[in-house]
Structure 1
Amino acid sequence: MSDQFQPVIGIIGGSGIYDIDGLEGREWKRVFTPWGEPSDEMLFGTLGGVRCVFLPRHGKGHPLPPSALNYRANIDALKRSGVTDVISLSAVGSLRAQLPPGHFVIVDQFIDRTFAREKSFFGPGCVAHVSVAHPTCPRLSDAAEAAGQEIGLPMTRGATYLVMEGPQFSTKAESELYRAWGCDVIGMTNMPEAKLAREAELCYASVAMVTDFDCWHPDHDHVTVDQVVKVLQGNAEKARALVKALIPRIGAPRGACPAGCDRALEYALITAPEKRDPALLAKLDAVAGRVLNAA
């Protein structure tokens, strides 16, 4: 990797965020991947001269539930499009009284309780083990916090996100259990997304937008979609403002990531070169090309 390069910013829009305003040279394009179809076409453009790629996580109009998302295709499509830094925007429920609806949370940890999703680009024929001890990029999280402060967003830095399978919301017993585990917010989409971003050597930050108190709260024991949608609409406007403030902070030429996100595969491949499956290697061309081509 050269000393300095021009970042390309990927934005994954969660529930309620199906477009990004203010991009110049806007063009929706479908990106094909060896892992199948991404959620939708992706929006290419620039913001303040910074190249950006936007992906609506659930597709425009929200046709895809969390368990049906092709997370591998989404991350591969971003990487294949030149993206280096990913900002993930997600709707969540709150497990803490101090994180009310309308609040934004910069997530730094996850507990993955999903079970019906493909969670790795690697497998038989090319085994790899990456570290996700610290699954988000501190540099991007710092920038998101500063951008939120700049525009006056109600925001908390540092939280644990419980990722459930869904699509149903929690039972009250589950909600209380997750609170006892020390979780702060609950959602359905950031895993395996964050793990796959790490495998793809992408810097990744998660900004969670609280839509409701989960059912642990005595005044919110029955979460309904209409309640959530009302808050979603307000959060979406705030999220777009956050993106506009954030892009200039992370779009300047930079060097390697201090946290090593962009070198996560450096020592992760364990399969001997002569035992690697050529068919799988071909699918890994975008995700792992840096290390495979160097081998």
Structure 2
Amino acid sequence: MRDVEVGVFGGSGLYELFGEVERIEVDTPYGPPSAPVAVSEVMTDRGPIGVAFLPRHGTDHDLPPHRIDYRANVWALHSLGVRRVLAPCASGSLQPDIHPGDIVVCDQLVDRTSGRPSTFFDGPTVNHVSFAEPYCSELRSIVVDRAIATGVSVHRSGTVVVVEGPRFSTRAESHWYRRQGWHVINMTQYPEAVLLRELGICCCAIAVVTDYDAGVDDRPGVGPVSQDEVYAAFAAAMPVTRQVIVDVLGSMPSERSCGCAQATNGLEPDVPPVAG
């Protein structure tokens, strides 16, 4: 198996753009991940880099956001040696100056989910990781620069509010999120981001804006977004997303200079044995 340096949470619509992949079945202490991990060797300006692609929602997009086993997914990438993760995610805009087709490179996160297992540290080892800055500043800076270079409209920072789903927001909820000054809304960034932090893995969310949330675009005759519209908009953004990822891979330094690896406090979680 190739050495794997970078992980990408993205569906088959993304990794099929990278050519030949090797699909690897990974056992984790938390059960199987959403799908086999697709590993590819991506050619970049600094040579070939092993990249592991894992579709959050499953190969056939049959896992709703509240049923994803985030711990299994993150552990699967960790077990392959991944140290950095790029996390493209379909997101709705909460602000009128953030438009469908834009990319928001998030620097903050607000959790509005409920009941999702969100830590590897269930005891007896106790570990309170720092999460004041949920995303890696070093990786974010590279993503911002490379995304701008593609010509797409890029927002250098932004707060993503993560809701439980699978339903979309009511207009009242959407108006409230907008008034808080939050920028985009998504259903998968939590607990994904904090689980990566607990294992010392760098994470950068690449919010691909697919629509205006229910309380943003109130023009007469404009209805709320539909599931089909979101899927279609995210699929249409895949070529640009792929280009950003390739350019980021070629721009990353070999060694990390951020503090993500130290955020674990030097502790390893107590994990159950792999079943079977």
Contact 1:7 1:85 in 2 (8 A): no
1:40 alignment partner, one of 30, 35, 56: 35
What TM-score, normalized by structure 1, do the two folds share? 0.84
The one-letter amino acid paired with 1:253 is S
Give, in angstroms, the shift of residue 212 of structure 1: 0.5
Where in structure 2 are there 5+ consecutive unaligned residues? none
Aligned length: 265
Inter-partner Cα distance in structure 2 for 1:77 and 1:264? 20
Give, in angstroms, the shift of residue 284 of structure 1: 8.9
Show the counterpart of 2:184. Answer: 185
Give, in angstroms, the shift of residue 229 of structure 1: 2.6
- Is 1:21 aligned with 2:17? yes
1:239 alignment partner, one of 234, 238, 241: 241
Give, in angstroms, the shift of residue 221 of structure 1: 4.4
Inter-partner Cα distance in structure 1 for 2:233 and 2:124? 46
Show the counterpart of 1:272. Answer: none
The one-letter amino acid paired with 1:191 is Y
Inter-partner Cα distance in structure 1 for 2:233 and 2:99? 11
The one-letter amino acid paired with 2:34 is S
Inter-partner Cα distance in structure 2 for 1:284 and 1:129? 23
Inter-partner Cα distance in structure 1 for 2:18 and 2:162? 31
Where in structure 1 are there 5+ consecutive unaligned residues? 1-5, 270-279, 286-295
Show the counterpart of 1:109. Answer: 108
What percent identity do the matched residue pairs reach? 35
Provide Cα deviations, 1:32-59, integer angstroms capped at 9, x if missing partner.
Answer: 1001111101111211211111111111
Structure 1 outlier segments of 4+, above 6 Å: none
The alignment partner of 1:281 has SS state of: coil
Distance 1:284 1:86, change over 3 A: farther
- Is 1:281 aligned with 2:276? no
Distance 1:92 1:137, change over 3 A: same
Show the counterpart of 2:8. Answer: 11
Provide Cα deviations, 1:190-225, integer angstroms capped at 9, x if missing partner.
Answer: 000000000011011000001100011214542212
Q: Which moved more, 1:231-240 or 1:171-180?
A: 231-240
Give, in angstroms, the shift of residue 115 of structure 1: 0.6
Contact 2:14 2:242 in 1 (8 A): no
Contact 2:129 2:265 in 1 (8 A): no
Show the counterpart of 1:275. Answer: none
What TM-score, normalized by structure 2, do the two folds share? 0.90
